[in-house]
Amino acid sequence: MSSPQRHRAPSTSGRCDVTIRRGRRSASVALALVGALAVGGVLAGCTADPLADQYRAGDNKGFIAQNGMEAVAIPIDQRSAPLNFSGVTDTGETVTSDDYRGQVLVVNFWYAACAPCIVEAPELEAAYEEVGGADVAFLGLNTADEAPTARSFAEDNGVSYPSLISVGDRELKLAFADATPLNATPVTLVIDPEGRVAARVIGALSSSSILTTLVKETLAENG
């Protein structure tokens, strides 16, 4: 039997590849996200972008860079109903949405052969190491692989949080159908303590600081 295929992340230094949109969210969120982008090096080389200037100015047109990663913070009064899900992780543990009520939950949609998923894996793990704990949980959701492949990916890329396996689990797929199409990967959701989607990152996460900022802002909503 052949050994599992190895999936490791290449270097992404020097890239400028993020979009941030927002609705009527507070100016503090806008400034925090721009600060996160700057710290992560994402704004380097992008200062001539007029939409970046618009975002810094605090209007609602957003921040746009070059390759399409988009981070969207959703105002509390615009969030949809709480998500309810149940599934089995790559280690065989059954978890449900109720297990995470009262916490901020980060859910990352991925699969092993997805090149952007490989690229973002170190940033997700860095974010998990920074903010994961009693108040913040991380959970992957693998959209295409069986558990052994998912475990191999996690080992190869140093990912230490579990992933749900959606292959053959129609109910799990339906539970997230309104939050994001499962054929759109990678996508990362930040879910508030009530189970509602508070933020969405579409495309490969280019800097862990973008995600940690979204998580911290969601935590801060409850004082």
Give the pLDDT score at 21. Answer: 52
* Strand 18-22 with 69-73, pairing: parallel
Is pLDDT of 57 > 50?
no
Question: How far, in Å, CA of 26 to CA of 23, rounded?
Answer: 9
Token pair of 39 as six digits: 């710290």
Is pLDDT of 177 > 60?
yes
Is pLDDT of 47 > 80?
no
Separation in Å, CA 167 to CA 63, 80, 90, 154, 164: 35, 26, 11, 17, 9
* Strand 63-64 with 187-191, pairing: unpaired
In a domain? residue 36: yes
In a domain? residue 157: yes
Question: How far, in Å, CA of 119 to CA of 218, rounded?
Answer: 25
Count H helices and E strands in the chain, helices first. 6, 10
Give the pLDDT score at 72. Answer: 86
Is pLDDT of 152 > 50?
yes
pLDDT tens figures, 6-24: 445 444 444 444 444 554 4
CATH number of 139's domain? 3.40.30.10
Q: What is the pTM of this model?
A: 0.76
Instruction: Supply the range of the domain harboring residue 40.
Output: 18-220
In a domain? residue 11: no
Q: What is the average pLDDT value for the chain, to the nearest integer?
A: 79
H runs (alpha helix) in 103-146: 115-131
Can you tell me the mean pLDDT for 145-154?
98
Per-residue b/e over 127-165, b at no fewer than 16 CB within 10 Å?
A: bbeebbeeebbbbbbbbbbebebbbbbbebbebebbbbb
Confidence of residue 222 (pLDDT cuts 50, 70, 90): confident
Can you tell me the mean pLDDT for 36-59?
40
Higher pLDDT, 165 or 10: 165
Separation in Å, CA 164 to CA 117, 139, 211: 15, 7, 20
Per-residue b/e over 48-77, b at no fewer than 16 CB within 10 Å?
A: ebebbeebeeeeeebbbbeeebbbbbbeee
Question: How far, in Å, CA of 137 to CA of 219, rounded?
Answer: 12
Number of independent structural domains in the chain: 1
Can you tell me the mean pLDDT for 55-82?
66
pLDDT tens figures, 111-120: 999 999 999 9
Token pair of 51 as six digits: 């939409």
Confidence of residue 223 (pLDDT cuts 50, 70, 90): low
